[in-house]
Amino acid sequence: METFQNLPAHVSIIMDGNGRWAQRHSLPRFKGHYEGVESVRAIVECSCTMGIRYLSLFAFSEENWNRPQDEVSRLMELFAQCMKGELDNFLKNGVRFVVLGNREKFSASLNSTIDEMMDKTAAGNKLTLVVFLSYSGKWDILQAARKLAVEHPDGNFGPDDFASALVTDGIPDPDLLIRTSGEMRISNYMLWQLSYTEIVVVDTLWPDFRKSNFLDALAEYEKRDRRFGKVK
């Protein structure tokens, strides 16, 4: 295992390219999502081994509800299947599992599975795995603004108060954002939290993203000079 002197505490990944991977292999789109699960397993395992404290994955955006119904239905089934299948591994490896997003459109069964997973893994203290489902950065900012308008009707609140009203309260902002498939955008993801995050874009499609690609991104992060607007 490669040794790093400057390991990010929180790595976030926009997992992009499942559909294109399936197309390149002459397979239905949902097959790309199933193959992408293997990449998730590989990166979670690597994160645990390396001592990364937080790993967050953008799995399903609010905009993704507009995809073909068959694909959405298969994704919902896949989410439930993966959560149930990974519970023992999470417990064994000290993984705390968290889902963040607007869960109103999820079925009662899926919401129950999510709650059960979060309850059973709450004591995990090695890695916090945050999966963003039905999430958008604009939605997060709007729900925080509504909350603060009630709590502070005089408008007397600051950036820390706003950060605390976001669904990511208690989770540090990402140090590193990795986006697969070569797309140069953040796709309405953690718009507040990514303000000073280092971004690494790789051409690899998510189903092909494995440990070596992850280590390459960490090595690129280690080269970065993070100034946070200051002069060094």
| Residues recognised as catalytic | 16, 64
User: Could you give the C-alpha distances from 162 to 24, 89, 144, in angstroms and in order?
Assistant: 43, 35, 7
CA distance 112 to 116: 6
Contact 197, 12 (CB under 8 A): yes
Whether the Cβ atoms of residue 47 and residue 11 lie closer than 8 Å to each other: yes
Kindly report the length of the chain.
232
Tokens encoding 57 = 């994955």
Residue 105 is which amino acid?
K
Strands 95-100 and 127-135: parallel
Residue 198 to residue 178: CA distance in whole angstroms: 9
Decide: 81 and 115 in contact? Cβ < 8 Å: no
Q: How many Å separate Cα 115 from the centre of its chain?
A: 17
